[in-house]
Structures are given as C-alpha cells and as structure tokens.
Amino acid sequence: MRIHFLLFLLLGLPLAAFAQNIYKDEQTGKYGMKDSAGQVRILPEFEALRLKGMFVVAYEGKYKGLFDLQGKRLLPNEYAGFDFTDNPRLLIGYIHTDAGRRAGLIDLDKGVDNTAFKYDYFQRFSTGYFRARIGDVFTLFDARGKFIYEGAYEQFGEPAPDQTEIYKKLPGATGTLVAIARPKGMPYENWIGINEAGKTLHYEAVKAPQAPVLQEAVAIATEEASSATTRAVEPPPPPGEGEEILNLAEQRPSFPGGEAAMLQFLDENLKYPALAKENGIQGRVIVRFVVEKDGSLSNTEILRDIGGGCGKEALRLLASMPRWQPGKQRGRAVRVRYTLPLSFRLE
C-alpha cells in the first residue's frame, strides 16, 4: 500500500480520484462503478464487480474481465479467472478450452499472447519465480515473466533452505539456486539444482557406509549331519524404526494422482471463508501434518495463519482429502512429516 501511495504522489494524482463505489442499476440488475464525484467509470453491464487491489474484476457468466481503478478496460471478459502477483503488471490468467482450463502469464504492458495459455497449471514460488507444467514438462520463469528453463521431470519445485545452503558449497555452483528437479527414478536425497540463469548442477548425497553383515558361526549337530555350517544373520532393525516420524524419505508421500490432481482437488473443494472474503483477506496458510503408513493424515497443525477463518478451512480441506500414497524408506511404508502451503486468493 505504501508503494501504491508513493506512486500516486509521483504521478501527481489525488487519492480521491481512485475512490470507487460499486453500484447496482435497479432497472437492469447489473453492476457498475462510480468514482467519489459520482461519475460513472464502469457502465452497469456486469453480473458482479469485485475490487482486487489496484484492479476491478468484472464477472459475466463463467467469464471474467479486468479494469483498472479509473475504469479503463485492461482485459476482455474472456477469462476463467486470475491470480494476482506482487508485480501489479504481471498476473496469471486462466482460459476455458475444449481440453479444460489452461493457464498462462499475462503481461499488461506487452499485451496478451493467446498461445501462452497452454499450461496445465501455473504456480508462483515464494521467491517470485514461476513454474508451469504441461504433462511431465516443467517450465521456469523469473519474477518478470522471462523464460529461464524447461525440462521433463517427475518432481520440480522450490528449494528448501537446507538445499540452498548445500548448493552454495557445491563445486561449480554459480548464481542463486531458484528451483530443484528430480527425474523419474532419482533417489529423493539427490537432486538437480537450477539457478536464475537456467544452468543446472547435479547434487548426489554421500551415502553412509552400510553396516557389515554379521557372521555367526553356528555348529549344528544332528543325527542326520554332524558337520558345521555357517549362516549369515542380519543385524536387528534400529529400535522404533517404522514408528518414528521422518522429515525426509527415499520416496516422498504424494496425493493420489500427483500434484496436478491435488491442485484440482483444492480448487474444487476450497470454500472461501465469508469473514475473509468480506475483509479482503488473502494469502498463504501453511499447514503441517503426518502422512501415516496407511496414507491417512494425522497430527495436523497450522504453522502460519492469515485469519478470517482461512486456517480453519485449511484444516477442513485436509480432513476431507482421500488417503495419500505413503512415503517409503528402503521399500517399506513409513510415517513422514509433510508441509503444505495453501493459497487463498480472491478473484
């Protein structure tokens, strides 16, 4: 808000010029917008109008369009929805196609490229970078929407703090680690780092030496045989193994159907809390839980809440999820702790 206020001062525009009043035309039942002086900025032609930061989203049927606060049309009512970013001139847009909903980046300064709407989903990292996905091919963009990297992987995401620290110490590491990836079959402790220039660097964890197999000489004397033989005895498993909660596992737990299926589940089942909607509350709720060996979720807790009932709704979503595919360690199902950010965004 402070940045926006300074922008108004630099432009020499009074704040009052941006005050807006959404009204309903009693004859048509449609909504429009007037400024503080009563001048119509947006004609009453829409089923609904909603203020969204520096923008006004116009609703007409299943389609949405976009205006600025002065009533200037920015995008026609041809979109399925928008996700706004920290950059007020860059947003994620969604369109309806015969193949389903498709996502793409919209740069309001460059105009809309309809060929960009080809992705299954678009997601913003906390660092401002974006990842997009088509099937098993991931694309990485910087905070300005510039293409950085593309490749086919089973996993592709934002690096964890410990991975960032490891990357800094790797021989040949340059720049800043902005994403990590794993192709199918790569052990979970290994990964491919991608920096802001799109250069990749492979990291392979140093494996601890395996404990030697204990050889126990057992003399067996029986009526049938008097010879001695030697058999190998495996060391007993560590106490509590299988019951402890792991932070990392060789095979991470996953939502049934994968990440795309989880995003679809959240999109279809999230119920925006009325209190949060009325007060314009949006942001990310971070939850943590344990994926049990049978795929059920337990020990759910909120690490970060944004208020307005969003934390409660996040817990409700977790409780309504189907059983996950459990994590595995050495081929056995194990209990794994999982952290999940949930986005609450008003459209």
- Say whether pLDDT at 18 is over 60: no
Q: What are the residues facing 21 on neighbouring strands?
A: 34
Taking the C-alpha atoms of residue 192 and residue 200, their distance in angstroms, rounded to an integer, is: 6
Cα 74 to Cα 56, 63, 111, 260, 316: the distances in Å are: 10, 14, 9, 30, 36
Written as six digits, the tokens of 268 are 């279809």
Per-residue pLDDT of 25-46, as tens digits, reads: 999 999 999 998 899 999 999 9
8 A C-beta contact, residue 8 and residue 18? yes
Q: Which residues contact 12 (CB under 8 A, 6 or more apart)?
A: none
Residue 322 DSSP symbol: P
| Alpha-carbon gap, residue 107 to 270, rounded angstroms | 28
pLDDT bucket at 125, cuts 50 / 70 / 90: confident
Single pTM value for the model: 0.57
137, containing H or E segment: strand 137-141
Alpha-carbon 283 to chain mean position:
12
Secondary structure class of 208 (helix, strand, coil): coil
Look at residue 143 and give its three-state secondary structure. coil
SS3 call for 192: strand
Do 191 and 182 touch, CB atoms closer than 8 A?
yes
| pLDDT of residue 239 exceeding 80 | no
Tokens in use for 319?
A: 């409780």
**pLDDT, averaged across the chain:** 82
**Is the predicted pLDDT of residue 124 greater than 70, yes or no?**
yes
289 CB contacts (<8 Å, ≥6 apart)?
297, 298, 299, 300, 301, 318, 337, 338, 340
Specify the CATH number for 245-344; select among 3.40.50, 1.10.3470, 3.30.2420, 2.60.40. 3.30.2420
Residues 6 or more apart from 232 whose CB is under 8 A from it?
213, 214, 215, 216
- State the pLDDT at residue 9: 37
Q: Does position 300 have pLDDT exceeding 50, yes or no?
A: yes
List pLDDT tens digits, range 138-188: 999 999 899 999 999 988 988 888 889 999 999 999 999 999 999 988 887
Q: Residue 279's pLDDT is what?
A: 83
**Comparing 141-145, 203-207, 255-259, 300-304, which segment has the lowest mean pLDDT?**
203-207
Where along the chain do the CATH 3.30.2420 domains lie? 245-344
Residue 38, both tokens: 């009563």
Sheet order of strands, 55-60 included:
48-52, 55-60, 63-68, 73-79
The helix/strand/coil state of 163 is helix
Spatial neighbors of 146 by CB under 8 A, at least 6 apart, are none
What percentage of the chain has pLDDT greater than the value 90? 45
Among 22-26, 91-95, 218-222, the least confident range:
218-222
Cα 187 → chain centroid: 22
* pLDDT of the residue at 248: 79
Question: Two tokens at 52?
Answer: 């969204």
